A and B are shown apart, each in its own frame.
Chain A
């Protein structure tokens, strides 16, 4: 009795991917030497969207927490950076990390409130939360109230000795945030909590009956995603130099585009958000000058992908080839001769 079998995770492809990913990070790290200033900045923006999309994907695609209010933490992180840098004189790069910590702390009391809501109600609840954040920050006169405020040039200049070094440091923070976000998602999914998450995604009731603490697992995911999203937000607004409630808590910029990226790339996969981000930026860089037509095209692409490839572009690739670049799934392998 008892057919001998093994659990396999990594495949040859995934081992190759790991090496390629390391090489890619090294290449990206060296970007200030091979790309121009404009492209380094663009790469920084791309990386921040890789982080946002991967984190949203973890929430919605793995933990079943379909939030449409992640702009709450992007904006909160941005404001935290401005407050820390302007009032406490914290070095902006240190403030990015601190903003992440503050964002996670703020998410701890918020999570229990939101978790009382299910499905569509949860989604609406997260949006309401973001609006509450927006309206609250619009009342803070020291941060410009509804008008917003600019980061004083002195603070920006104080990041590094000269402009080239400052731009490099900023870019590397974006790279660090993106790598941290993707690595966090991968490592979490490979851990016990990840197994629990997959079970929760497939059936909450069944997983609860198996003894999974749903509430704690979701809390872990929500709070850590909030922290990393706040860090990304802090970086984004350090690049923008200016923050206002409407810009900080923009549902279009920080959630609609991010959902677009995750959906066209492939929700519930590690690779999807990266593929989606590349596609999004290809479209934006080539078509954004078309004005309204560009937005119509984005919508058309989203509709087309949802109809023809509901699992996203990466889902399509997986379906046709069966490859897994990032090993988060466990496969049962029976010996060939049994």
Chain B
């Protein structure tokens, strides 16, 4: 009996082995055959890998993924012409679970197992940085967005002289958010005293950085910044910060926070009698659901705005305007528009444009070369890597605005466009009561 079970175990091992071999065979052989023959195939196929935080704390950023991907797949369904031939496009989308460890793992799976030709990713440094690192080491062309460029570039130990080899990024930067916030705060009757709330995370460290972040330009513009230091994300006590702001007579509060931290700060500020006239916070106040959860105290808060349905841009892929894209999302899901919608769409616009222009889609180097040469008007504005602040980075326009009550619901209204005059202003800024 012992022997028979012994071989049973052996069989189990063998079957596991053969399972892996079979899996390896399937995974390897299919793309290998495809790779060698696809140039001669009736319709050659190109695969785009997509990494996005569909579940977990960052899921709000990926809320519109299904809708956007469905629209993109439809736009791609006729194939994309490259050098006179139609290429079928397949998108393989993976969930990062809002976890940088998992993001690195799925990115490597997309590169090594799915053998994607281009990898795209969006939403916060925790997604785009690990994905870009894996792409860079493997030489896979990679396009990312939806993360300020400093945490992307310097957070990955980027060197402005050499840049990166195969990874490219489009979004705005800290200099834009600072300029927009300063424009927002030019208000009579508001003391130029600012309290800063910067967490010890990728965004917070970049925003609070003495050289590249808020402190220096705020000082130059005549604002005094009270910065009580980096707090640990998911803090539930902001008494120290509130006391420091009160003592300094701060009438403006700014920073970069995650929604739960801001909710904690804001309710404690109310309880402790701290009533700033302007509260402009990055990241925390992007989503209508967050503002709704704050109730009446959510009205009047202000935030950076990267995209709205009123942006005067249209898709290079589907010809939809920003408004049409947002409305089609609301019609399909019954949910209000959110800012990442436009950027998620633009990511695939850029990918399609690159596929169209690449000299040789079989050659990653040629695809990277096509990304570098991009000059495209997308639904979020122009994307052109020849105009970057540093290599591998290009910027899209950024404005700022306020959550205001319009009719029965709270909507995000652009109140200053000093940094990007092409974006229309939707209303006047109102101080907090």
Residue of B13, B17, B101 most packed against chain A (CB within 10 A): B101
Q: Tell me what chain B mostly uses at the interface: helix, strand, loop, or mixed.
A: helix
What is the bound-complex CA distance between A163 and B321, given in angstroms? Answer: 45
Q: Which residue of B lies closest to A135 (CB)?
A: B232
Question: Which residues of chain A from 118 to 169 have any CB-CB distance to chain B below 8 Å in the complex?
Answer: 135, 138-139, 144-153, 156-157, 163
Q: Tell me what chain A mostly uses at the interface: helix, strand, loop, or mixed.
A: helix
A20 touching B130, Cβ below 8 Å: no
A232 nearest CB across to chain B (Å): 14
B24 touching A39, Cβ below 8 Å: yes
A145 touching B112, Cβ below 8 Å: no
B230 touching A146, Cβ below 8 Å: yes
* Range of interface residues on B (Cβ < 8 Å): 35 or more
A241 touching B23, Cβ below 8 Å: no
Q: Which of A38, A144, A151, A289 contacts B155 (CB 8 A)?
A: A144
Number of A-B contacts (CB under 8 A): 146
Which residues from A are CB-within-8-Å of B125? 147
A242 touching B113, Cβ below 8 Å: no
Which residues from A are CB-within-8-Å of B109? 38, 42
Interface-facing stretch out of B199-207, B220-228, B340-348: B199-207
Residue A253 is within 8 A (CB to CB) of chain B in the complex: yes
What is the bound-complex CA distance between A285 and B16, given in angstroms? Answer: 14
A146 touching B200, Cβ below 8 Å: yes
Residue B406 is within 8 A (CB to CB) of chain A in the complex: no
A23 nearest CB across to chain B (Å): 9
Which residues from B are CB-within-8-Å of A297? none
A39 touching B9, Cβ below 8 Å: no
Residue A17 is within 8 A (CB to CB) of chain B in the complex: yes
What is the bound-complex CA distance between A148 and B54, given in angstroms? Answer: 22
Q: Per-residue 0/1 for B29-66: is the Cβ within 8 Å of any A Cβ (1 yes, 0 no)?
A: 00000000000000000000000001100000000000
B22 nearest CB across to chain A (Å): 10
Which residues from A are CB-within-8-Å of B7? 16
A292 touching B99, Cβ below 8 Å: no
Q: Per-residue 0/1 for A34-65: is the Cβ within 8 Å of any B Cβ (1 yes, 0 no)?
A: 11111101110100000000000000000000
Which residues from A are CB-within-8-Å of B101? 240, 247, 250, 253
Which residues from A are CB-within-8-Å of B411? none
With A39-B23, A240-B101, A242-B130 known as contacts, the answer to whether A150 contacts B202 (CB < 8 A) is no
Interface-facing stretch out of B131-139, B290-298, B351-359, B369-377: B131-139
B100 touching A244, Cβ below 8 Å: yes
- The interface of chain B, by Cβ under 8 A from chain A, is 1-3, 5-7, 9-10, 13, 16-17, 20-21, 23-24, 27-28, 54-55, 94-95, 99-102, 104-105, 108-109, 112-113, 125-126, 129-130, 133-134, 136-138, 151, 155-157, 165, 199-202, 204-206, 230, 232-233
Q: List 25 A-B contacts (CB under 8 A).
A: A12-B2, A16-B6, A20-B10, A20-B13, A35-B28, A38-B24, A38-B27, A41-B112, A138-B200, A139-B200, A145-B205, A147-B201, A150-B129, A157-B137, A239-B104, A240-B101, A241-B104, A241-B133, A242-B100, A242-B130, A247-B99, A247-B101, A288-B95, A291-B95, A295-B55
**Extra inter-chain contacts (15) besides given A144-B155, A323-B2, CB under 8 Å:** A11-B2, A12-B2, A13-B2, A20-B9, A38-B28, A38-B108, A138-B200, A146-B204, A147-B125, A147-B201, A250-B99, A253-B99, A253-B101, A289-B95, A295-B55
